[in-house]
Amino acid sequence: MILSAIIIIVVGNGGDKPSNWEVFIGIVVNIFTNAVISFITQRNVEYKVKGLMQESGAEAKVKQNGEWEVIDAAELVPSDIIGIRFGDVVPADSRLITIMKMILIDQATFTGESLPVNKLIDDEIFAGSVCQQGEAAAIVIGTGLNILFGRINMIASNVRNRGSHLQQILRFIGNYFLIIFLIFVIAKILVMYAGFHYNYRRGVNNLFVILLGYVSLAMTTVLSVILAVAIEELASVTILCTDKTGTLTLNKLSIDTSNIKKYSDVEIDDIIHYAAIASQMENQDAIDACIIEACDDIKKIREDIKELEFKSFDSIDKRTEITYRMINDGSLHRISKGLRALPIAIEDISSGHFGDEGNGFKLIGLLPIYDSLCLDTKEAIEQVLKLGVTTKIITGNQLAITKEIGRCLGIGDNIFSSEILTDGPSLESAYRDIDDIILHADGFAGVYPEHKSKIIERLQNLEYGVAMIGDGVNDAPALSKANVFILAVLNDSALIAISNDRVYPSSYPNSFFFIECPSLILVGAFILAQLIATFIAVYANWNFTNIAGCGWSWAGILWVWNIIWFFSLDFLKFGLRAYFEPLSEKRAITETLLNNFSTNLQETRRSTMSSGDDAARIVIDSNIHHAPK
C-alpha cells in the first residue's frame, strides 16, 4: 500500500490535470490508522506477556576466595562453586561435588516428575529446579543459553517464525494473486493503450483501481483483532498430544483410600494415622503432605504421643522412621514408612527403653499414592476421542505411571520409553520405522523437551495437523512447533482464553444463520460499514474519482437483493446438511472400523513375530496393513 501511494503521487501526473492528492492522503490516513491499531494491539499483548513472565532477580550463594558470598545469579560463570540448601532455586546448571545432607531436587518444571529426585555426587541439577531437602555444594557447568532452559528456549525460538497453518495458507493465496495481478496489469495496459488508445492519465487511473484492490491493507489488523485464528487452526487438528503432570493431572499427590492394601487386622484409618505419625509435620515433601491431608483431624495426629526420635529419609535406609512413647500408658513404639512404595510397618519395644531393639517390624498396610486426575480430564478426553481426534500422552514421567494414566483415560497403554525415539524399532518389532511407532503409539514416557518437539515435527511431516497441550517450560519447544498449542494454567481454577465467536464444532453446517453470528460488536461494525458504503454510493459525486451517486432507487434494489439472498442461503444449508450428515456418520463408522482393524492387525503381527512364524507371513501382514490407506 505504501508503494501504491508513492506510485499514485509520482506517476499520477499529466493530462492537464492535477495530481491525485486526495487519493494519496486517503491512502496515507488508512495506512496510519491500521498501523496504530496493530501497534496498540501488539503492545497490549506484549505487556501482558511481559507481566506474566517477569520475575524477581535470583541470587546465588557462591564461594569466592574461600568465603561464601551472596551475588546476583546473572554473575555466575562456569567453574564457580555454589551452595544449595532446602528452599533454594538452583541458579545455574551445575554438578554436585559435595553432599552434606541427602538432597532432593524438584525438577518437575523440566521433566514433569511429580516427586522430587534424590541426587548423588556427580549428578547434574538444572537451573530453575528447587531443592526440597538437604544441603550440598555444586560446581557450575552452564550459564546463559548453555543451560537446559536456554537450550529449550533456542529450540522453541527456531520455530516461532514459521507461522501458523492459516498464515501459511494466506501467504500462498497472496503469492497466487500477485501472479494473477501482474498478468491482468500487463493485459490491461495492452488493451487500454494499444487497443482503445486511452490517454495517459485515464489509463493510469484505471491501473490505480486494480493496484488498490489487490492488497487488503487491514488483513493483519483483522487477523489480530477480529479473526479467531485458533479456531481456524483447531479445525485442521487430527492428532492431540498432551503432557501429563499438571495438564491431565493436578501435579498433587493423594492417597487412594479405596485401594489401601491391609496386611494385618489394623483398620485403614489407623494405617493412615500411623503413616501420618511417621511423617514430617513441617517442611513436608509431597508424600508427607498427601498423607497428612488424608487424615480426618490433623491436630490429633500426635496428640497422645511424645516424640523421642525422628529419622528423615536417607538414601541408605530408604525410609522415614519415628520412635515415640504413648503418654497414657508409657509404652514405646517405632513406626517405619518407606518413601516410594509406602509400606507402613510398626514394632513394639517391649523393654520400654529408648534405643533398645524392638520385637520386629510388622507390615500393616500399603498406601497407594498417585497424582490425581483433573476433575474434567476423563470427560474432556472422551469428547476429543469421540470427535475422531487421536490423543497421545508425551511426558517425562515413568513408563508404568504413564501406561496406567493412559488406561484410566481410555487413550490406551501402547506407550514407549524415550529410548525408542533414538534407537528405533528392533528387527523383531511390528513397526517399520520411528515414524510408524510415533503414528501408532498411544504415548511416550521419560522424554525430554527436544523429544517432544521431534515427535510433533515428525507427525507434521506425515501431514497431520497436531495440537499440543502443556503447562511447563519443558513443553515450550513442542508448544511452539505445534499447529495449535493450548497452555494449561492451573492455579486453583483454570484460566482459559477463548474467542467471542459463538461457533460450536460440528461435522456439518448449522441450519440457522443466527447461531453462527459473531459477537454483537462485530455485527454492529458490519452494519455500520454497510450503512456508510450505502451513503457513499448514493451521494458520492466526486470529480477526482470520476464517479457519480447511484441514487436511492438502485441502493434500495441492492439492499432488497442482499436481504433476499441472506435468508435464502439457509435453504442451501438445509440441502448441505441433508447431504453431509449421512456422509459424516458413514465416515465416523468407517474410521472406527479402520482403527479397530489396525489395532487388531498390530496385535496379530506382534503375536506372529513372537511365535516364530516365517517371514513370509509377516510380509503378507505388512501389505494388508497398508491396504486401508
Higher-pLDDT residue of 515, 112: 112
Percentage of the chain lying above the pLDDT 70 cut: 68
pLDDT bin (cut points 50, 70, 90) of residue 337 is low
Higher-pLDDT residue of 148, 392: 392
| Calpha distance 472→488 (Å, rounded) | 9
pLDDT at 196 over 90: no
pLDDT digits over 60-104, tens only? 889 888 888 888 887 888 889 999 888 788 888 899 999 888 888
pLDDT at 363 over 50: yes
pLDDT digits over 590-618, tens only? 555 555 544 454 454 444 433 433 333 22
Q: Highest-confidence range of 66-70, 345-349, 541-545, 598-602, by mean pLDDT?
A: 66-70
From the candidates 243, 371, 442, 471, give the one annotated as an active-site residue.
243
265 is known as an active-site residue? no
Q: Highest-confidence range of 191-205, 423-437, 516-530, by mean pLDDT?
A: 423-437
What 3-state DSSP class applies to 342? coil
What was the pLDDT predicted at 239?
Answer: 92
Grid coordinates of 233: 487452526
Number of separate helices (H) and strands (E) present in the chain: 19, 21
What was the pLDDT predicted at 248?
Answer: 85
Higher-pLDDT residue of 68, 477: 68
Higher-pLDDT residue of 160, 548: 548
pLDDT digits over 498-522, tens only? 333 334 444 444 444 444 555 566 6
Beta-bridge mates of residue 363: 345
Q: Highest-confidence range of 1-5, 446-450, 463-467, 591-595, by mean pLDDT?
A: 463-467
| Calpha distance 149→92 (Å, rounded) | 10
Q: Which residues contact 125 (CB under 8 A, 6 or more apart)?
A: 84, 90, 93, 94, 95, 96, 105, 107, 119, 138
Angle subtended at Cα 570 by Cα 567 and Cα 575, rounded to the nearest 5 degrees: 150
**Are 431 and 457 contacting, i.e. CB atoms less than 8 angstroms apart?**
no
Q: What would the mean pLDDT of 178-194 be, rounded to a whole number?
A: 87
What is the β-pairing status of strands 305-311 and 261-262?
Answer: unpaired
pLDDT at 241 over 90: yes
Query: In order of start, what are the domains of the chain with their CATH numbers?
Result: 2-52+158-227 (no CATH), 63-141 (2.70.150.10), 230-249+373-487 (3.40.50.1000), 259-367 (3.40.1110.10), 513-625 (no CATH)
Min mean pLDDT across 226-235, 250-259, 308-317 is at 226-235
Higher-pLDDT residue of 198, 283: 198
pLDDT at 364 over 70: yes
| pTM for the whole structure | 0.51
| Calpha distance 558→562 (Å, rounded) | 6
pLDDT averaged over the chain? Answer: 74
pLDDT at 493 over 90: no
Q: What would the mean pLDDT of 421-447 be, rounded to a whole number?
A: 88
